[in-house]
């Protein structure tokens, strides 16, 4: 059941809800809503549906209005919508597709058609999700990858400069990682990378960003975050990683930390200062935090 996709069925008719649910319940998890407003609430709640079967003619918000709202929000824009409606004119179908729906099923409901269309669009949605995960996430650690980091970090820097709030970057490097690989083997090295990554992910707020930058290097961004809290968070990362000791192997990290200033017109410039602070941390004995000038 956990591996099944979720289909949200939206219709103000109990009979139509039952018929549509009977079409998809054997292959998918089913959620139902009897109004446009209820649909929006469910669509914005985690875990989100993988597909929405949406009636057009409903009291209150009609299906077209619901679709327009869902597609205008970044939180729900990627959920595929299939209209299910008694309206059979070409212009009605064109309107639904123009609003962003992926398909249009006309009533009376024909189970074979519903099953086939749902299967097609669920498959496409899951394939797209898999491609997105490959594009944005590091396959070994599950953290964001370098490509996604640079894209998101550039936006964070621009936003912080525009609204004048504090933003911090940590450049983190696992100490003596080559020696760990040489002594214990690369599979153990991979396990250590994953445990360090998990520590970084669990220590973050939802607005923080943690990514694998490459090799044994990681980047963490805090925003908005004042200096006292940022330093406490960085020191907590140091301590938590010291305490990991996977398979009784001592693991430590060095951290270079930089605060965004007006001269940092790009993320690359901010990251360069954090990287210099990381170099200082290694020169000064490792297993420590250094602040950039």
Domain with residue 97: its CATH number is: 3.40.50.2300
What are the strands of the beta sheet with 51-55, ordered from one edge? 29-33, 6-10, 51-55, 81-85, 103-106
> Where are any strands of DSSP class E within the chain?
6-10, 29-33, 51-55, 81-85, 103-106, 168-174, 209-214, 217-222, 253-259, 289-291
Dihedral sign for Cα atoms in the order 191, 195, 200, 204: positive
Q: Assess if residue 276 is contained within a domain.
A: yes
**Domains in the chain, number:** 2
84 is in which domain, residue-wise? 6-135
Catalytic site includes residue 216: yes
Do 121 and 185 reside in the same domain of the chain? no
Distance CA 207, CA 78 (A): 21
Q: Are residues 94 and 124 in the same domain?
A: yes
Instruction: Write out pLDDT tens, residues 141-173.
Output: 999 999 999 999 999 999 999 999 999 999 999
Residue identified by tokens 């985690």 is 46
- Residue 293 is given by DSSP the state -
pTM metric for this prediction: 0.66
CATH of the domain at 240: 3.30.70.270
Share of the chain above pLDDT 90, in %: 82
Considering the domain architecture, whether residues 206 and 157 belong to the same structural domain is answered as: yes
State pLDDT tens for residues 192-242: 999 999 999 987 777 789 999 999 999 999 988 889 999 999 999 999 999
* Same domain? 10 vs 101: yes
Q: Looking at the structure, do residues 153 and 71 belong to the same domain, yes or no? A: no
- Beta carbons of 9 and 49 less than 8 angstroms apart: no
* Active-site entry in 93, 195, 216, 290: 216
CB 52 within 8 A of CB 36: no
Q: Is the pLDDT of residue 89 over 80?
A: no
Mean pLDDT of the chain: 92
Residue 87 and residue 54 share a domain: yes
In angstroms, the CA 67 to CA 56 distance is: 9
Would you place residue 1 in the very low, low, confident or very high pLDDT band (cuts 50, 70, 90)?
Answer: very low
Collect all residues with Cβ–Cβ distance below 8 Å to 281 and sequence separation of at least 6: 254, 255, 256, 288, 289, 290
Has residue 140 been placed in a domain?
no
DSSP, res 59: S
């Amino acid at each position: 059941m956990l591996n099944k996709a979720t289909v949200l069925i939206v219709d103000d008719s109990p009979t139509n809800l039952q018929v549509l649910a009977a079409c998809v319940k054997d292959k998918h998890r089913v959620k139902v809503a009897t109004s446009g407003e209820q649909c929006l609430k469910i669509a914005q709640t985690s875990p989100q549906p993988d597909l929405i079967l949406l009636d057009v003619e409903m009291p209150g918000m009609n299906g077209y209005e619901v679709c327009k709202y869902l597609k205008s929000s970044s939180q729900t824009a990627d959920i595929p919508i299939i209209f299910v409606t008694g309206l059979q004119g070409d212009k009605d179908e064109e309107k639904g597709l123009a609003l962003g729906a992926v398909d249009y099923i006309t009533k009376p409901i024909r189970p074979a058609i519903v099953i086939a269309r749902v299967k097609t669009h669920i498959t496409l949605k899951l394939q797209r999700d898999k491609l997105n995960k490959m594009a944005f996430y590091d396959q070994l650690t599950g953290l964001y990858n370098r490509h996604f980091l640079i894209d998101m970090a550039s936006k964070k820097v621009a936003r912080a400069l525009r609204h004048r709030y504090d933003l911090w970057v940590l450049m983190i490097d696992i100490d003596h990682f080559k020696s760990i690989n040489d002594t214990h083997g690369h599979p153990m090295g991979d396990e250590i990378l994953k445990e360090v990554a998990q520590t970084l992910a669990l220590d973050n707020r939802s607005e923080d960003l943690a990514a694998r930058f490459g090799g044994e290097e990681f980047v963490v961004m805090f925003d908005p975050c004042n200096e006292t809290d940022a330093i406490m968070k960085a020191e907590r990362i140091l301590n938590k990683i010291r305490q990991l000791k996977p398979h009784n192997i001592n693991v430590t990290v060095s951290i270079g930390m930089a605060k965004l200033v007006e001269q940092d017109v790009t993320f690359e410039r901010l990251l360069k200062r954090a990287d210099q602070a990381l170099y200082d941390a290694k020169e000064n004995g490792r297993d420590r935090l250094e602040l950039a000038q």
